[in-house]
Amino acid sequence: MRPWSKHSLIYEINSWVWLDELSRREQRALTLASVPDAEWDRLAALGFDVVWLMGVWERSPEGIRISMANEELVSDFRRALPDFTDRDNVGSPYCVRRYEVDTHLGGPEALVVARNKLAQRGLRLILDFVPNHVAFDQRS
């Protein structure tokens, strides 16, 4: 692995959305562990030094429940997505139940695979940790 650059270029990925889009394209459910090598190659070819997988932490079911009880928020969801259903509300990446990789993304083991795939291509991985991004049902 090459040393950190004084001026690293960071490519941010909304992990949940990205995996959903890849899953639809591949016509199968993907996790961070099963992202096709061609996708990692595509990211590496963009010229960035670092990939930031945003939103990997376990999301709060209580946060989803609270947001679905907010009529104004649900109305906004429906304006943005006319055929909105409860399943479309996957929760906020800023309402973290636990700082553990969400099982929807493949859990901690899948993150290890993704990090290794990035490292094989000379890319570093960063994750965000914001102590006040916790949920009402936060767990240690």
pLDDT tens per residue, range 34-68: 999 999 999 999 999 999 999 999 999 999 999 99
Per-residue pLDDT at 117 exceeds 80:
yes
What is the enclosing helix (H) or strand (E) of 74? helix 71-80
Q: What is the DSSP string of 77-119?
A: HHHHSTT--GGG----TTSEEEEEE-GGGTHHHHHHHHHHHHH
Could you please state the CATH topology (level 3) that the domain comprising 10-60+93-126 is classified under.
Transcription Regulator spoIIAA (3.30.750)
Q: How confident is the model at residue 2 (pLDDT cuts 50, 70, 90)?
A: low
Query: pLDDT by residue (tens digit) across 56-115?
Result: 999 999 999 999 999 999 999 999 999 999 999 999 898 899 999 999 999 999 999 999
Q: Where are the domains of the chain?
A: 10-60+93-126
